[in-house]
Amino acid sequence: MNRLEKLKDAIKKANINGYLTTNVKSIYYLTGFMDISEATLFLITPVNGDAILLVQPLSYDAANEKAEGCTVKNIGFRGKILNKIVNEIRRSQMKSVVFDSLSTSMYLKLVQEMKEVEFKQDQDILMSLRRQKDEREIAFLIEAAKLADFGAEAGMEAIKPRIHEYEVAAEIEYAMRRRGSEGVAFETVVASGPRSAYPHGVCSDRIINEGELVVLDLGATYLGYRSDITRTAVVGKPTIRQKKIFDVVLKAQEEAFKSIHAKVRASDVDGVARKIITNEGFSDFFIHSLGHGVGLDIHEAPTLSPKSKEILLEGDVVTDEPGIYIPGFGGVRIEDTVLIHKNHGEKLTKTPYSF
């Protein structure tokens, strides 16, 4: 069953007549057409009948060539977008429409124009479909992970005293890009010294010094699909405390990985890592969730956190990334992208851990 049919099934179950998405990645997921213009596009999927993809004039030819399972229509000049959407909704006689994201002004115009239709915002219906990856998607995610391994290895090799953080990022991104990455999966993190204690440290013009911790967090993109890997290095020989923290994080990461398989609770996997870190006295310094889903978005369902209500499913692709962050001292995070199988997890990123 193709993805648009799956969406129709899902909205039928939710007792809705149609789904309106403006999310470029969801439209790529559903139709195979990835729009590269900045302009808005709309996919209207009635529970019965063909999906309609409304695109801007400059995207029309590409959409016609690539989009499958839907009819492509040209929005034409500005100002007629509302009319086109209204026409399609009326034509399919929808009484209830769920949308993922609309500007407030567009929402208000639609509600005003079609008082007979119930409009409701919901992103979960579509994101639930995107969560479990099929064979084709897994092949793309494996390729994205391979590219990330090239980046991580280049980054680890580049780290040396007196180099700027951004120079390390340059080596990481160059290694991925020249092998075919479409661009970074998210802003590369090269966080050294005290900055390694910031979980979202991106990268600065700081100069890296002997003896410092350096956290590298990076990812590549392949045919829209992303990867996510973190490695932590020390410049030179680690101190006993640095080594201790590294070992605790690595143990938490590896034990959490061993606990991963379909049907386990996401909160339980988080718990495995959190318990190890807590038992070693670092519970106050593991200040984020263990992981998140990865796909066309770098953060998607499911979330691996203490509060998560989700159960892992076959085909989920998630990160396993515990960390310990000590303000003023530094931080260690170790992360792999992991594919969930029936009875085990499979690491898609494979760069050796350091220390």
Work out the angle between the directed axes of helices 81-91 and 104-113 (0-180°, nearest 10). Answer: 50
When asked if residue 104 is in the footprint of its own copies (CB under 8 A), the reply is: yes
Q: Is 121 in the site for its own copies (CB under 8 A)?
A: yes
Residue nearer to its own copies on the CB measure, 86 or 106: 106
107 binds its own copies (CB under 8 A): yes
Q: Please identify, using beta-carbon distances, which residue of 199 and 271 lies nearer to its own copies.
A: 199
Q: Residue 314's closest CA among 127, 124, 131, 123?
A: 131
Nearer to its own copies, 37 or 83 (CB): 37
In this structure, the number of other CB atoms found within 10 A of the CB of residue 222 comes to 23
Q: Are 235 and 210 in contact (CB under 8 A)?
A: yes
- Return the C-alpha torsion angle 216, 220, 225, 229, nearest 10: -20
Q: Residue 184 interacts with its own copies (CB under 8 A)?
A: yes
The site string for its own copies over 60-99 (x = CB under 8 A, - otherwise) reads ---------------------------------------x
Q: Is 342 in the site for its own copies (CB under 8 A)?
A: no
Q: Is 205 in the site for its own copies (CB under 8 A)?
A: yes
CA separation for the pair 139, 328 (Å, rounded): 41
28 binds its own copies (CB under 8 A): no
Tell the smallest beta-carbon distance from residue 306 to its own copies (Å).
13
Identify which of residues 18 and 199 has a Cβ nearer to its own copies in the complex. Answer: 199
With binding defined as CB under 8 A, does residue 174 bind its own copies? yes
Shorter beta-carbon distance to its own copies: residue 78 or 342: 78
Q: Give CA separation, 280 vs 146, 247, 251, 355, in Å.
A: 33, 11, 11, 19
The Cα–Cα gap between 153 and 178 comes to 14
Stretch that binds its own copies, among 21-29, 159-167, 232-240, 254-262 (CB under 8 A): 159-167
Rounded CA-CA distance 22/45 in Å is 12
Size of the site for its own copies (CB under 8 A): 37
SS3 assignment, position 53: strand
Give 171 or 254: the residue with its C-beta nearer to its own copies.
Answer: 171
CA distance linking residue 138 with residue 144, whole number of Å: 10
Nearest to 221 by CA among 155, 173, 258, 256: 173
Which member of 279, 287, 306, 309 binds its own copies (CB under 8 A)? Answer: 287
**Which residues of this chain interact with its own copies, rule CB under 8 A?**
36-38, 58, 99, 101-105, 107, 121, 164, 166-167, 169-171, 173-174, 177-178, 180-184, 187-188, 199-200, 202-203, 205, 287-288, 299
